[in-house]
Amino acid sequence: MAVLIGRDLLSLADFSPTELQELLQLAIQLKSQQLKLRCNKVLGLLFSKASTRTRVSFTVAMYQLGGQVIDLNPNVTQVSRGEPIQDTARVLDRYLDILAIRTFAQQDLEVFANHATIPVINALTDAEHPCQILADLLTIQECFGRLADLTLTYVGDGNNVANSLMLGCALAGMNVRVATPPGYEPDAKIVEQARAIAGGKTEVLLTHDPELAAKEASVLYTDVWASMGQEQEADNRMPIFQPYQISEQMLSLANQDAIVLHCLPAHRGEEITEEVIEGSQSRVWDQAENRLHAQKALLAGILGAE
């Protein structure tokens, strides 16, 4: 993965289709222990939002590569006192080898990357969640042995996960359908970006009809109806999003061998039923585990682990 050395990952659009496939193959080799890589580097985690899977998987991945991790809680750094992003970036740049940032505005992430020479990874913003989608694609590839020509259907809120899924599927040669209530569509610019990547070879479909989107899909995917920072809207969203719940009825519309994914945390009985998330077609726990393997491959590729 020499092509990734020193690179930022701010968006999945930063990858080419070939780079994505090579990264997923590296993740498969690391997971199966066909390949063992080491790098004595230091990863910083600058997380302004709550995190379980992202924080723990990045930490364990870096330790398993032989590196170290510093958790830079914004509440106990000068970031919480209003230090400018560019100043923090310039300082951390002289201490760390790589930095993963979990924040709100994509623009803040980009400003940080512009003022740091070390690689910067998007560990989640309001616009995108690329690291999650790397794990999702790894899970799908494990289940079906391929990504090309499969159809992934996402139902629910057109949030950061939906945005990055469109980009990831387009890069992987997959069809992607996003079904949302009117007014909750994904980012229009990212939709056009995904369609440009797909080049008409695969489908990037937006619809308000969840049943139409679910028909003959290989993957059904959902996320919470109110993301971090939107919790105050949760009660108002309930009746609007109810038709977009992944239930056994919706799952019956998909292919017989379809799998179900959820990036977690899940609100059972809301965006997904208990029966489906605990059912035989759920791959949610494999998907969560694969955060570790996909991010280990990402760190190894960017840091040039040997």
Listed in sequence order, the DSSP H helices in the chain are: 17-31, 53-64, 85-92, 106-114, 130-144, 160-172, 188-198, 210-214, 234-241, 248-251, 274-277, 284-303
What's the rounded Cα separation, in Å, for the pair 142 and 188? 31
Contact 272, 225 (CB under 8 A): no
Q: How many separate helices (H) and strands (E) can be counted in the chain?
A: 12, 9
Q: Between β-strands 68-71 and 98-102, what pairing exists: parallel, antiparallel or unpaired?
A: unpaired
Q: Which of 8, 21, 115, 132 is catalytic?
A: 132
Q: Which of 8, 136, 187, 223 is catalytic?
A: 223
Q: Which residues contact 143 (CB under 8 A, 6 or more apart)?
A: 259, 283
Q: Which of 106, 291, 293, 295 is catalytic?
A: 291
Q: Contacts from 266-269 at CB under 8 Å and sequence distance 24+? A: 266/224, 267/224, 267/225
The CA-atom distances, in angstroms, between 240 and each of 32, 101, 106, 195 are: 43, 32, 27, 27
Structure tokens at 20: 């994505």
Contact 278, 251 (CB under 8 A): no
Secondary structure element (H or E) that encloses residue 207, with its range: strand 204-207
3-class DSSP assignment, residue 15: coil
Q: Which of 102, 262, 283, 293 is catalytic?
A: 102
Q: Which of 21, 106, 263, 287 is catalytic?
A: 263
Per the annotation, the verdict on 291 as an active-site residue is yes
The residue type found at 47 is F
Per the annotation, the verdict on 249 as an active-site residue is no
Q: Which of 115, 129, 177, 237 is catalytic?
A: 129
Per the annotation, the verdict on 102 as an active-site residue is yes
Per the annotation, the verdict on 223 as an active-site residue is yes
Residues belonging to the active site: 102, 129, 132, 223, 263, 291
